[in-house]
């Protein structure tokens, strides 16, 4: 049976990955470089991490539905690893479930829009350096894998 078309994004992508795709496109339009599934520290894996032109770091957690949000017990750990923290959800998600202290994006597989800005919590310089290096190394290793899968 052929896969049905999904109006929220390309077929074959899991719902959270569709949201991440739209988020990455929107952040790129704001001049932020993005990576999906970044590990700021062992035990945490951010859905989207973005690095701004001034070195600011954003983390966006994509939630495909209320059950996905309720199952997430680690999201507060991300707050120590970013200057700004956002939730990204699809249209129809009951946003009243999400903590109002974080930013909010409405996303689909093609784009995202910031509905609520995130407060700025500046990272300590040492932590910013560690995270910027992790971001750069992850990006370089992924680029190498694309260029030479046997590397």
What are the pLDDT digits (tens) for 37-89? 999 999 999 999 999 999 999 999 999 999 999 998 888 999 999 999 999 99
How many structural domains are present in the chain? 1
pTM, two decimals, is 0.89
Confirm whether 81 is domain-assigned. Answer: yes
Confirm whether 5 is domain-assigned. Answer: no
Pairing of strands 57-63, 84-89: parallel
Confirm whether 31 is domain-assigned. Answer: yes
Confirm whether 24 is domain-assigned. Answer: yes
Q: Please, are residues 6 and 108 in contact by the beta-carbon 8 Å criterion? A: no
Confirm whether 1 is domain-assigned. Answer: no
Confirm whether 72 is domain-assigned. Answer: yes
Q: Please, are residues 76 and 43 in contact by the beta-carbon 8 Å criterion? A: no
């Amino acid at each position: 049976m052929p896969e049905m078309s999904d109006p929220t994004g390309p077929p074959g992508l899991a719902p959270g990955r569709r949201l991440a795709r739209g988020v990455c496109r929107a952040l790129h339009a704001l001049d932020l470089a993005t990576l999906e599934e970044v590990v700021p520290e062992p035990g945490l894996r951010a859905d989207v991490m973005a690095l701004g032109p001034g070195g600011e770091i954003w983390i966006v957690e994509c939630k495909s539905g209320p059950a996905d949000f309720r199952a997430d017990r680690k999201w507060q750990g991300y707050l120590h690893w970013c200057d700004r923290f956002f939730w990204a959800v699809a249209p129809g998600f009951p946003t009243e479930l999400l903590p109002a202290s974080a930013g909010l994006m409405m996303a689909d597989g093609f784009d995202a829009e910031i509905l609520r800005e995130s407060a700025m919590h500046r990272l300590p310089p040492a932590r910013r350096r560690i995270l910027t290096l992790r971001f750069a190394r992850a990006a370089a290793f992924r680029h190498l894998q694309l260029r030479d899968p046997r590397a």
